[in-house]
Structure 1
Amino acid sequence: MKKDELIDHALRATWQAVARMYNEEAGKVESTMATGFTLLSIDKEKGTPSTALGPKMGMEATSLSRILKNMEDKGLIQRKPNPNDGRSVLICLTDFGREKRDFSKKVVLQFNETVRNNISTEKLDHFFEVIHLINGLISEKKIYTNNDSKEK
């Protein structure tokens, strides 16, 4: 890493490259990375409550609603009443959705396997350690505190 390289830029550029790669693969089966991520986030046997899906994926409800509507139109999912909570809806995979989920899972596993085969365990351990530390700094609000942002 270069001394003047920005950490947030490296994270963003890498994630954009990964997203572009996933979208290219998903495009081969007329899908998107967002659809694949959603398919992988839904419990393939029992379905997932719609209210739990957004937080599980780290998405806002409005963005997720658009994705779910599109997936429903394509026959990947169906909405069913939640037997445990009459106010809630379960998002369930259709047979076609399970098929696309299996494809998405293979793509993700292949990416992980390729990275693990080309980067040492020690380096990956350090990578995950750093990622967890950065997430901790963010969640504990240690980067931008009220004291730092007060105008004088």
Structure 2
Amino acid sequence: MTKKFERLDSFGWLINVLASQATKELDHELKPYNLTAALWPTMMCLWEQEGITQRDIAAKAKVENSTTTRTLDKLEKLGMVERKPDPNSRRSYHIYLTEKGRAMKPDLEQIPLQVNKRLLSHLSVEEQQILLPLLAKMVEKI
């Protein structure tokens, strides 16, 4: 007998609902800084390591290279990042934070921690310690 499809048994649907809620909350918290959840992964990558290429950022953030191009364009217009030509390649640029981008880190890095805490608050510490490594394992394989 074939099992009936149940929405609450759908991994994709559940993850999508959680991701949408996380994005909505993160967007709300980042709005005073003129940032969005879509810009967030690039900022995190650059806080971890400056001077990497757009391709490196796309790979680390797990997004398409074209998405990273648009993200960098927006961050550049906001005065948060700058592109510097790669001396070894006419087509490649290294991405650096500006002083403004670096200065925002202490305020901004607390925001996702607060959003995560709210979203995970319905789980016990033990449940969180099971869930997060499993999700990280799945993301690592993508």
TM-score with structure 1 setting the length? 0.73
Alignment of 1:62-81 (within 5 A): 62-81=66-85
1:121 alignment counterpart: 125
Match of 1:93 among 91, 94, 97: 97
Which is strand-richer, 1 or 2?
2
2:15 alignment counterpart: 11
User: Structure 1 residue 128: deviation in Å?
Assistant: 2.8
Match of 2:135 among 119, 131, 147: 131
User: Would you say how many aligned residue pairs link Structure 1 and Structure 2?
Assistant: 133
Tell me the alpha carbon deviations over residues 46-69 of structure 1, each in whole angstroms, 9 at most, x when there is no partner.
Answer: 432222110110111111111111
1:150 alignment counterpart: none
What are the ranges of 5 or more consecutive residues in structure 1 without an aligned counterpart?
A: 140-152
CA radius of gyration, larger in: 1
* Residue 112 (structure 2) pairs with residue 108 (structure 1): yes
Asked if 1 retains the 8 angstrom alpha-carbon contact of 2:46 and 2:96, the reply is yes
User: Structure 1 residue 104: deviation in Å?
Assistant: 2.5
1:129 to 1:57, Cα distance in 2 relative to 1, 3 A: closer
Query: C-alpha distance in 1, partners of 2:31/2:109?
Result: 15
Say which is worse superposed, 21-30 or 110-119, in terms of deviation: 110-119
Asked if 1 retains the 8 angstrom alpha-carbon contact of 2:54 and 2:94, the reply is yes
What are the ranges of 5 or more consecutive residues in structure 2 without an aligned counterpart?
A: none
Asked if 2 retains the 8 angstrom alpha-carbon contact of 1:40 and 1:104, the reply is no
The one-letter amino acid paired with 2:39 is T
2:44 alignment counterpart: 40
User: Structure 1 residue 119: deviation in Å?
Assistant: 3.3
% identity of equivalent residues: 20
Please give the secondary structure, in 1, of the residue aligned with 2:33. coil
RMSD: 2.7
* Residue 54 (structure 2) pairs with residue 53 (structure 1): no
Asked if 2 retains the 8 angstrom alpha-carbon contact of 1:44 and 1:98, the reply is no
